[in-house]
Structure 1
Amino acid sequence: MGYPISTAVPALKPARFTTRRQPGWVASREDVIAALEKPEVLILDCLTPERYRGEAGNPRSGHIPGAINVPYLANIDPALSTLTTAELEPWLDAADAFTLAPRATLSELYRQAGVTADREVITYCGRGYAGACGLLALKCVGHEHVRLYDGSWLEWSADPRLPVEKNCD
């Protein structure tokens, strides 16, 4: 396009990043339990499909009842949503960086999953990392009512009193 190119590494100025806690972005276990009785709240499992179905993971595997599955890597490329954990490993090892899919792609991904502006969404995964990716993607497309259950499956599955679903698509 006629622009100059260079192989020189630019000098970057140090900067300070200051975090700001967003209390409204976090859901507790009690919030998720309450959401089980609220059809206006959508619980979003961000793990791979086989973990969602309960085919892989810890001895008490599956998902939170009523949760839908949008794997975290679908936020990068929806085509990755069907890959198993084993299929993803080589892809993750080879990747240098990740970029969220374009806004229109993410909007369509979540529209197809049943996410609408009038519904609150609570994301979760195994330990909170992949659920945070789902929260970020939803915030990037302008979804206002989204929180992360950061206790995630690690906390939920450890309590035998809490319900679990398996083998749902």
Structure 2
Amino acid sequence: MPATPGFAHPEAIVSTEWLAAHLRDPALRIFDCTTYLHYETGTGRPYRVEAGRADYEAAHIPGSAFLDLQGELSDTASPFNFTMPAPEDLAARFAARGIGEGRRVILYARKSPQWATRVWWMLRAIGFDDAAILDGGFDAWSAEGRPTEAGESRYEPARLTARPRPGLFVGKEAVKAAIGDAGACTINALAPDLHRGENDRYGRPGRIPGSVNVPVSALLKPGRLTLKPPAEVAERFAAVGADPGKRILLYCGGGIAATLDAFLLHQLGYRDIAVYDASMSEWAKDPSLPIEQG
């Protein structure tokens, strides 16, 4: 497995070069995780969710299958998009798609790696560690002129037993309890205008009090969607007071962008990291929860 110097878990990141050389590895299970968010006004919801299946079927990395995050891997009984299902339920869903014992999983997405890191974080939360994201995703693969195929691929079901890691996903009470706690750092992965309260996409504009802003765009190289070098990533988190000794709580609009920040903090060796699953989709609509602007 190729190494990414400076990251604590380089096995969880693969390059397009590595994947191209290992496409025929029978143990690999490669998945396109793309989802699109269409931002709307006047609908009472922050966005419309569209699985990226059509683009996948038009062109994808050879042999890769498709994962529908909202349709297949989320708790559809929840009032919020993308809610994490119960661990045993999620393990069964992953197993049905070919993820399990003896399989090496490679996750990629289009337009943003946050969809791949969301699935990666979910797998980690149920105890599956043999997964990696493709650095640069389909965008880098395509830009390099690497082969693609159309249609749909599927894998045979696998066996996967959930071994949950409690605390990787948290709810509003844990986030509320961290407000004013010197031993915690709450990070917003949304764009700066949302953090400052200049955009009311999720309801009440603003942020969780005391939280700091590390938007996903600050962690990626412009134009290529590849991860910035470890030193630059570490500097960005250090600049907002995200000390490795603190408990780090991450949020965004719906627990997606936050997983890219979480993934990179994990890569930097941080140990106490949690994602607020419902994020501002819940917080901004609950008047009992505090909010700040500016």
- Percent sequence identity over matched residues? 31
Higher helix share: 1
Q: 1:14 to 1:35 in 2, by over 3 A?
A: same
Q: Which residue of 2 aligns with 1:141?
A: 268
Q: Which residue of 1 aligns with 2:219?
A: 75
Tell me the alpha carbon deviations over residues 63-105 of structure 1, each in whole angstroms, 9 at most, x when there is no partner: 000000010121214xx6xxxxxxxxxx6xxx6xx33212111
Q: Which residue of 1 aligns with 2:169?
A: 26
Aligned partner (choices 207, 219, 222) of residue 63 of structure 1:
207
Greater CA deviation, 103-112 or 12-21? 12-21
Q: Secondary structure at the match of 1:23?
A: coil
Q: Secondary structure at the match of 2:270?
A: coil
Q: How does 1:1-169 map onto structure 2 within 5 Å? A: 11-13=24-26, 15=28, 16-18=98-100, 19=123, 20=127, 21-56=164-199, 57-77=201-221, 98-167=225-294
Give the length in aligned residue pairs: 144
Question: What is the aligned-residue RMSD (CA, Å)?
Answer: 2.2
Higher strand share: 2
* CA distance, structure 2, for counterparts of residue 75 and residue 118 of structure 1: 21
* CA distance, structure 1, for counterparts of residue 204 and residue 21 of structure 2: 52
Tell me the alpha carbon deviations over residues 37-59 of structure 1, each in whole angstroms, 9 at most, x when there is no partner: 41211110000000001111234
* CA distance, structure 2, for counterparts of residue 23 and residue 126 of structure 1: 22
TM-score, structure 2 normalization = 0.45
Q: 1:10 to 1:155 in 2, by over 3 A?
A: closer
The residue type paired with residue 126 of structure 1 is G
Q: 1:58 to 1:117 in 2, by over 3 A?
A: closer
* CA distance, structure 2, for counterparts of residue 17 and residue 129 of structure 1: 21
Q: Which runs of 5+ in 1 are unaligned?
A: 1-6, 81-90
Q: Secondary structure at the match of 2:275?
A: strand
* CA distance, structure 1, for counterparts of residue 22 and residue 273 of structure 2: 39
**Which aligned runs of 4 or more in structure 1 are off by greater than 6 angstroms?**
none
* CA distance, structure 2, for counterparts of residue 61 and residue 45 of structure 1: 13
The higher-RCO structure (CA 8 Å, 6+ apart) is: 1
* CA distance, structure 2, for counterparts of residue 8 and residue 45 of structure 1: 37
Please say if residues 189 and 252 of structure 2, whose CA atoms lie closer than 8 Å, have aligned partners that are also in contact: yes
* CA distance, structure 2, for counterparts of residue 14 and residue 158 of structure 1: 44
Q: Which runs of 5+ in 2 are unaligned?
A: 1-19, 29-97, 101-122, 128-163
TM-score, structure 1 normalization = 0.76
Q: Secondary structure at the match of 1:123?
A: strand
The residue type paired with residue 65 of structure 1 is P
Q: Secondary structure at the match of 1:43?
A: strand
The residue type paired with residue 102 of structure 1 is P
The residue type paired with residue 23 of structure 1 is P
Q: CA deviation at 1:12?
A: 4.7
Q: 1:160 to 1:133 in 2, by over 3 A?
A: same
Greater CA deviation, 120-129 or 15-24? 15-24
* CA distance, structure 2, for counterparts of residue 121 and residue 33 of structure 1: 13
Q: CA deviation at 1:13?
A: 2.7
